[in-house]
Amino acid sequence: MDETDRHFGVDPKAPALRQYLARVVGNAGIGALVCYELWSLVFADLSGAMGYLLRQVCIGLILKHKPKGLVISKNVTFRGCDRIRLGNFLRIDFGSSLDCFPSAAGISIGDETLLERNVVLSTGPVPGAMIKLGNRVSVGNGTVMVAHASIEIGNAVMIGPLCYITAGTHIFDLSNTAMLDQGIRGQGVRIEDDVWIGAGVVILDKVTIHKGSIIGAGAVVTRDVPAGAIVGGVPARLINHRTAQ
C-alpha cells in the first residue's frame, strides 16, 4: 500500500487546500467548492420548502449537472462531487452519504431511485472502484455499500434496511505484517434486475445475484445466486425456486 492509498487517494505531499479540493469536489473547480461550503454550513440542515429549494439550486452547481425532480432531504453528504452522477426523479433521504474517493471511477444512480435514511455509498481509493445503481432501485434505511472494485445493481431492485454489500476484502496473506498494511483486493458484486434483498443481508465480494431472485432476511451471501432462486441462512443456501411455486 503506497502513501497515496494510506491517505485515501489524496497525495499527502500536496498543499492542504489541494488535498481538500481533491477529496470533496475533485476537478469541479472553485465555484463548486464555494457551493459545497454553503451546502455544508447552511443548506444541508435547512428545514422546509426553503431548504429544499436551496439544495435544488446548489446541487446542480456542485455536481455540474442538474437532474430533474431531484429531492434531497436534510443532512445529506456528498464527497468526490465530480465523480458522482444522479438520475432524474431521485430521492435521497435524511442523513445519507455518497462518498467517492479520488482515483475511483465514480458513483452513478439511475432514474426514479430511492435512498432511504442513513444510506452510505462509498468507493475506496482504488482505480476503477465504482457503484452503479440502475433505475427504480429502492435502498432501505441504514444500508451500506463499500466498493473497492465494482458494485453494479440493475433495475427494479429492492434492498431492505440495514444491509451490507462489499466489493472487496482485506488481504491477510502475510502473518508477519499487519493486515491493515497489506491492502485490499476485490473482484466485484453484480445484482441483476428484479431482485428482492431482505433486511439485514450481507453480500460479500465475488458474488452475482441473478435476475428475479430473493434473498431472505439476515442471510450472508458468499456465492452466486441462480436466477429465480429463493435463498437464506448463513451462509445463504437454496430454499426454493420461484418458478417451482
At 104 the three-state DSSP class reads coil
Residue 148 appears among annotated catalytic residues = no
Cβ distance 168 to 206 under 8 Å? no
Q: From the candidates 7, 65, 148, 170, which is the catalytic residue?
A: 170
Give the separation between CA 233 and CA 226, rounded to whole angstroms: 16
Helix (H), strand (E), coil (C) string for 15-52: CHHHHHHHHHCHHHCHHHHHHHHHHHHCHHHCCHHHHH
Give the separation between CA 26 and CA 148, rounded to whole angstroms: 19
**Phi and psi (nearest 5°) for 66?**
-125, 95
**Alpha-carbon torsion 118, 18, 63, 73, what sign?**
positive
| Unique residue bearing C-alpha cell 443481508 | 201
Give the separation between CA 211 and CA 194, rounded to whole angstroms: 6
At 5 the three-state DSSP class reads helix
User: What strands, in cross-sheet order, belong to the sheet with 237-241?
Assistant: 71-72, 91-92, 114-115, 138-139, 158-159, 196-197, 214-215, 229-232, 237-241
Give the separation between CA 123 and CA 102, rounded to whole angstroms: 9
Three cell numbers, residue 124: 475506496
At 121 the three-state DSSP class reads strand
- Residues annotated as catalytic are 170
